[in-house]
Structure 1
Amino acid sequence: MIIHWADVIAERLKDHGPHTLATGITPSGPVHIGNLREVMTADAVYRALVDRGVEARLIYIADTYDRLRRLYPFLDESFREHVGKPLSEIPCPEGCCSSYSEHFLQPFLRAMDLLDIKPEVYRADQLYKEGVYLDAIKTALKKRDEIARILKEVSGRDVSPGWSPFDPICRDCGRMNTTRVTGFDLDSERVDYVCECGSTGSVSMRGGGKLVWRVDWPARWHILRVTVEPFGKDHATAGGSYDTGKRISEDVYNYPAPYPIVYEWIHLKGKGAMHSSTGLVVTVQEMLDVVPPEVLRYLIIRTKPEKHIEFDPGLPLLTLVDEFDQRRGDARALELSSIRQSEPFTIPFRHMVTAVQIARDDEDLLLKVLERSGYETSRRDEILARARNVRIWLERYAPPFVKFDVKEDLPQAVRNISPEERRGLGMLAERIEGKSAQEIHDEIYAVANELGLDPKKFFQAVYLAFLGERQGPKAGWFIASLDRDFVKRRLIEASVA
């Protein structure tokens, strides 16, 4: 029996609690499902620990005090002046939120709630401004040379002569990538700086700047008592952020580095790893528009963190939904993915794609279509929610050949079918009454065999009669979804065309 990866980690950790599992993302752009892997990995291990009776807490740190690194493709030219400023101090791109960082953070917080991820949320700008980092900043400034030596020993790179572990925010231009520390006073809790804009001055250690990333991360571990943290493989390279952070945490802050969980990227099929800065993303909300939250959880939780996920929002997404609904996957992954206790959804997503297109936007007709196919429709709200998912999937991700339109009149294309195929359509019209979807499907094969027809071509003739195309959804289930009187009339009409 294969034990789920989250349980393997929880078993290693269970005797060393209590635990604080930390996760954090910089809200510099749309938060995508690649970012979600970090949060979901932490949540899965958190749940596995709680299942074992281990005291644990899950925290989320939004790196709102990181600076805007460049003008991203999704920003207009007016944001060039804000490059180098903390995200929390930059105006909202659309004027709907209190800051740039909140504009991208708020949708992600709402998505986490829908995904039943309930961390304690911290904003880095607030932590700095409230003085939570104060002692860590003082320690870093005092031990600047020791930190520089660690960075050299671990990463192999020298820091510049004027390097400081603290980046002041210029009081005139608001940037932190153009300033240089010239001195500090621990008693007054002030840091002196010069800026490339020509400004000089001093700032408070309480919100007047922040620690550089390689120091901020281990300082955070100490401040928030982090014991477990997932992070991307870019931080796990030899001499990378985790290696330097581990040394700084242990040697400078006298705190053991947290248990590391390294995760691989989520790749968008045929395009590569997702990155907000390049615009190559599928946002969390975009995915929640097309699949239930449990399925999005399952997409990530079923795969070991060290393996990359090749994400294809086209047809493979339908398979993923049906795998979850039919409980055909890893039982523990399904359990960790579940949000509410409910009976499995029994209508295949692929059939919902057929039913929604037949019914168009008529909700009552949709339920009739599903009933004709033999499905129970008492869970109306869930069915209609899935129908909304399907409509958006069809609009955004469905390959063209999946889309169809049942023609109100006999398509002209039926003139291209052979006399024997027409005869077969007439025979089929007399054999569908009272039959199930599977029986209708089998009957199409039976008619083709009786008349010596190529089954593939006879199926094409059936599709031509209803859709005017040579392909369509699974024929038996498609026909069963339609009004039987309509089907019979159409097949007879096509047989004599």
Structure 2
Amino acid sequence: MTDTALIDAALNSKAWPFEEARKLLKRYPNGKPGGEPVLFETGYGPSGLPHIGTFQEVLRTTLVRRAYEVLVGAKPEDGRTRLVAFSDDMDGLRKVPDNVPNQGLLAAHIGHPLSRIPDPFGKYESFAHHNNAMLREFLDRFGFDYEFVSSSGLYNSGGFDDALKNVLRNYDAIMGVMLPTLREERRQTYSPVLPVSPKTNEVLQVAVQVIDAEAGIVRFHDHGEDIDHCILGGKAKLQWKVDWAMRWVALGVDYEMYGKDLTDSGVQSGKIAKILGGRKPEGLIYELFLDANGEKISKSKGNGLTIEEWLTYGSDESLGFYIFPNPKSAKQLHVGVIPRAVDDYWQFRTKIPDQPVEQQVGNPAWHLLRVNGYQGGDGDSLPVTYSLLLNLVGVLGAGATREQVWSYLGNYVENATPDAHPDLDELVGKALAYNSAFIAPTLKRRRPEPNEAAALAALDEELAATSDDATAEELQNLVYEIGKDPHYGFDQLRDWFKALYQTLLGSSQGPRMGSFIALYGIGNTRRLIAETLDGAPDGASQTAG
């Protein structure tokens, strides 16, 4: 594939990362002035622990970053783009999160900057430092190329001092944007600037009078008296929407996406950025993730599927694959979506080498592989689907071991060793964990109806006469023929397969039976049928042979 062919395909691709990246081409037809790298930003509020919603923003932004690099013919190592993961850790603590220890410690510091509150976990300099470290650890785990920047670092070092003076110079114009959006009561105390009280160290929500913009001096009422106070050097922070706009201008941010809940904030911040002499970044407004009950995920409540949970039961790549499609549509996050995400990722990944470039640029796996610098074709495939692994482990029972699973994989996979198939071995461990937590406790094999028992007996006879080296396709055809025989009374083939799943596997859904029989082994499958026909009690099956 030539670079020109790839660029041409990307310019015409309907894949959303390329659609977003083309906004930046329109913004800078001749590149960013002065040869500066195009700056992508993601934001993080460290009042709670990082969650999948935090991760998805970094992933999606990186996808757009890599798409932009394709459009301009750049490589990640060329330095023509940057990604800043920004932590708003000067924000005052509004409430105590539900999912942290030592809640009394945090309750005593309500209103204080997150970076100046003791760490309830007892490990870091502050609560914000702890949560920032958790964010970096996770992003590093996935190999993201990013620069971590903290609000407290820039405020305290004076890095934002010139920007703060600019806000004071344009104080009245900013108030003109914000006041019409507020309730009358809120207008009385609203200020773009939030001083940090020299008496209590709280971030104050008070009316402010600008005394000297160039010196950064303001006047406000602080616990019983009016004081003149310099807001530079970490002695104040800005109100959220103003802070966001100031950051865009001060850092030169060109692209930032955000959730639907911040739509109005984005509008106001864009107006303020213009007042400050800058320009609102390009970006995408994405839908929020929902929990299993269809409710918004909150990092303070901890009601979403955690990063750790996903990675216990599913692969790293499957998480990215689930996040990739349709960012403007809401997605529910629960463990039930993991198996299909794993299998769909590998299905798309396997297609890449045989696809023309026009199809590759629309393949989610192609985009995900490029997140960490992947450039070429990839012929990797998974010899056994995750769903089939789960069915196998389900039949083996809650006490199944990795060694047992690999012994059965030898029926189906050439050179069936963990070293030869590391991706599959990783999924074996995850399948065992998923089975133990979610499948084994719910499996319940039912007794077959008379017509189903007759069909199972016929299947057993056919298997008895079938060679042990029969292919999965040959076994599948054998199963089909029994289900299509009107003698057994199945109105549709799916009724036959449903009966197989429920009586043999204890599940309402299942794999291609030919693949399962080839994996489990003909002899073991016959013993499983015998258990069922002999009236084995309801419940999880015993391990065969």
Fold-level similarity (TM above 0.5): yes
- The counterpart of 2:382, out of the listed 327, 340, 345, is 345
Q: 1:495 to 1:392 in 2, by over 3 A?
A: closer
Whether the 8 Å CA contact 1:169–1:203 is kept in 2: the answer is: no
Q: 1:145 to 1:370 in 2, by over 3 A?
A: same
Whether the 8 Å CA contact 1:313–1:397 is kept in 2: the answer is: no
Counterpart CA distance in 2 for 1:198 and 1:71 is 29
- For the pair 1:221 / 2:248, whether they are aligned, the reply is yes
Moved more, 165-174 or 124-133: 165-174
- The counterpart of 1:335, out of the listed 355, 366, 380, is 366
Counterpart CA distance in 1 for 2:234 and 2:430 is 44
- The counterpart of 1:370, out of the listed 401, 405, 409, is 409
Moved more, 392-401 or 224-233: 392-401
**Partner of 2:42 in structure 1?**
23
Q: Give how far 1:204 is off.
A: 5.1
Aligned amino acid, residue 264 of structure 1: E
Q: Give how far 1:372 is off.
A: 1.3
Whether the 8 Å CA contact 1:325–1:344 is kept in 2: the answer is: yes
Using the aligned pairs only, state the percent identity: 21
Q: Give how far 1:262 is off.
A: 1.8
Q: Give how far 1:457 is off.
A: 7.9
Q: 1:242 to 1:465 in 2, by over 3 A?
A: closer
**Partner of 1:477 in structure 2?**
515
- For the pair 1:321 / 2:362, whether they are aligned, the reply is no
**Partner of 2:267 in structure 1?**
243
- For the pair 1:288 / 2:320, whether they are aligned, the reply is no
Q: How does 1:103-122 map to 2 (within 5 A)?
A: 103-122=130-149
Deviations 1:410-449 (A, max 9, x none): x9x5899987467436524513442333433443444566
Whether the 8 Å CA contact 2:394–2:440 is kept in 1: the answer is: no
Whether the 8 Å CA contact 1:422–1:496 is kept in 2: the answer is: no
Pairs aligned (count): 482
Counterpart CA distance in 1 for 2:499 and 2:336 is 24
Counterpart CA distance in 1 for 2:188 and 2:241 is 17
Whether the 8 Å CA contact 2:13–2:19 is kept in 1: the answer is: no
Deviations 1:201-240 (A, max 9, x none): 846521112011121111111211112221222332xxx3
Deviations 1:23-80 (A, max 9, x none): 1111221322233332223211110111123622111111111122123333564132
Helix, strand or coil at the partner of 2:382: coil
Counterpart CA distance in 2 for 1:437 and 1:120 is 49
Whether the 8 Å CA contact 1:315–1:398 is kept in 2: the answer is: no
TM-score by length of 1: 0.83
- The counterpart of 1:430, out of the listed 434, 456, 464, is 464
- The counterpart of 1:276, out of the listed 275, 281, 299, is 299
**Partner of 1:129 in structure 2?**
156
Deviations 1:177-211 (A, max 9, x none): 45554665557655554434889684652111201
Whether the 8 Å CA contact 1:58–1:120 is kept in 2: the answer is: yes
Whether the 8 Å CA contact 1:17–1:56 is kept in 2: the answer is: no
Helix, strand or coil at the partner of 1:280: coil
Q: Give how far 1:133 is off.
A: 1.0
Counterpart CA distance in 2 for 1:470 and 1:119 is 44
Aligned amino acid, residue 367 of structure 2: L
Helix, strand or coil at the partner of 1:344: coil
Q: 1:459 to 1:229 in 2, by over 3 A?
A: closer
Deviations 1:297-356 (A, max 9, x none): 2223332x3x22323535443223222201169732321111557513332111121234
Whether the 8 Å CA contact 1:65–1:87 is kept in 2: the answer is: yes
Counterpart CA distance in 1 for 2:146 and 2:507 is 51
Whether the 8 Å CA contact 1:178–1:195 is kept in 2: the answer is: no
Whether the 8 Å CA contact 2:168–2:216 is kept in 1: the answer is: no
Helix, strand or coil at the partner of 1:372: coil
Q: 1:46 to 1:230 in 2, by over 3 A?
A: same
Counterpart CA distance in 1 for 2:488 and 2:118 is 68
Moved more, 204-213 or 430-439: 430-439
Whether the 8 Å CA contact 1:369–1:481 is kept in 2: the answer is: yes
Q: Give how far 1:376 is off.
A: 5.6
Helix, strand or coil at the partner of 2:410: helix
Counterpart CA distance in 2 for 1:431 and 1:106 is 61
Counterpart CA distance in 1 for 2:144 and 2:285 is 20
Deviations 1:464-493 (A, max 9, x none): 8766x4757434333333354444455457
Whether the 8 Å CA contact 1:417–1:461 is kept in 2: the answer is: no
Q: Give how far 1:495 is off.
A: 5.6
Q: How does 1:432-471 map to 2 (within 5 A)?
A: 432-434=466-468, 435-447=470-482, 452-454=487-489, 469=506
- The counterpart of 2:23, out of the listed 12, 15, 32, is 12
Counterpart CA distance in 1 for 2:242 and 2:530 is 77
Counterpart CA distance in 1 for 2:253 and 2:515 is 53
Deviations 1:131-170 (A, max 9, x none): 11111212222332221112246x3766634543221222
**Partner of 1:408 in structure 2?**
none
Extract unaligned runs of 5+ from structure 1: 406-410
Q: 1:68 to 1:394 in 2, by over 3 A?
A: farther
Q: How does 1:113-192 map to 2 (within 5 A)?
A: 113-152=140-179, 155=181, 160-177=187-204, 181=208, 189=216, 191=218
Whether the 8 Å CA contact 1:63–1:123 is kept in 2: the answer is: yes
Whether the 8 Å CA contact 1:133–1:223 is kept in 2: the answer is: yes
Aligned amino acid, residue 465 of structure 2: R
Q: Give how far 1:374 is off.
A: 4.2
RMSD of aligned Cα (Å): 3.6
**Partner of 2:7 in structure 1?**
none
- For the pair 1:58 / 2:83, whether they are aligned, the reply is yes
Q: 1:140 to 1:496 in 2, by over 3 A?
A: closer
Whether the 8 Å CA contact 2:42–2:256 is kept in 1: the answer is: yes
Counterpart CA distance in 2 for 1:451 and 1:245 is 69
Moved more, 431-440 or 6-15: 431-440
Counterpart CA distance in 1 for 2:329 and 2:501 is 39
**Partner of 1:98 in structure 2?**
125
Helix, strand or coil at the partner of 1:273: coil
Whether the 8 Å CA contact 2:318–2:341 is kept in 1: the answer is: yes
Counterpart CA distance in 2 for 1:17 and 1:87 is 38
Moved more, 346-355 or 98-107: 98-107
Deviations 1:373-393 (A, max 9, x none): 346635332222112333344
